Amino acid sequence: MSLTDQQIARAAAISAATLHEAAGRKGALPSTLKPVAPEMKLCGRAFPAHGPAKDNLWLHRAIYAAQPGDVILFDPQGAHEAGYWGEVMTEAAKARGLAGLVINGGIRDAARLAEIGWPVFSANVCLAGTGKDQQGRGSLGDPLFFGDVLVKRGDLVLGDSDGIVALPSEGIDAALSSSEARDAAEVDQIARLRAGERTLDLFGLGELPS
């Protein structure tokens, strides 16, 4: 089952942490992956890709193999000390209508990426250059592990300042409905806390030890 635009719109209104909790605490990608700017949020269909260490040719290819609304998730085989992505590639991906980038490696031009505002989540910032080996081996759209999460093409990817969650489309409506219910309950909980109630009572946590 493929994700609908309506499902993606519903997910975009939810926080990544809420969706992770509502889905049974599943799908959390490594916490080392952070947005270039804290206000960045991405939401879309996953497009996994990988390429050789310190080489970004397959990442250039991913920009044009992915479809509008896709989020590229790229793994450079664990080689973080290189700047695989920068301002030029951001403008190219933005022109293609892609929804964001998650890269388990380095990016550069960080200040400009923050100004542009197109969502980029990376493991680190690094100015070292990369190559473009035409003979290098990689993949476009094949499933990839990010940490212990297997991400497949078309999975829902949601990221914000707390982190990134990736979930399969199967069962996503239940996770979205549970997320929306959690958000509604939290609004009520905050109102009750502001009125003087205690978290111990709200969540049935018992009394202070004597």
User: Which residues are bridge partners to 83 per DSSP?
Assistant: 106
Quick one: average pLDDT of 176-202? 94
Q: Which range of residues forms the domain containing residue 123?
A: 5-177
CA distance 85 to 202: 46
> Domains in the chain: how many in total?
1
106 inside domain: yes
198 inside domain: no
CA distance 108 to 85: 6
77 inside domain: yes
Structure tokens belonging to residue 118: 């197109």
Which domain CATH number covers 153? 3.50.30.40
112 inside domain: yes
192 inside domain: no
Specify the DSSP class assigned to residue 126: -
CB 162 within 8 A of CB 40: no
Instruction: Give the model's confidence band at 151: pLDDT under 50 very low, under 70 low, under 90 confident, else very high.
Output: very high
For 133, phi then psi, to 5°, come to -85, 115
Task: Give the model's pLDDT for residue 77.
Answer: 84
Tell me the per-residue pLDDT of 18-75, one tens digit each, with 9 for 90 and over: 999 999 999 999 999 999 999 999 999 999 999 999 999 999 999 999 999 999 999 9
Task: Give the model's pLDDT for residue 12.
Answer: 97
Tell me the per-residue pLDDT of 69-106, one tens digit each, with 9 for 90 and over: 999 999 998 888 999 999 999 999 999 999 999 999 99
Query: In a 3-state reduction of DSSP, which class is residue 7?
Result: helix
Q: Which residue has the tokens 């290189």?
A: 82
182 inside domain: no
Tell me the per-residue pLDDT of 101-150, one tens digit each, with 9 for 90 and over: 999 999 999 999 999 999 999 999 999 989 998 989 999 999 999 999 99
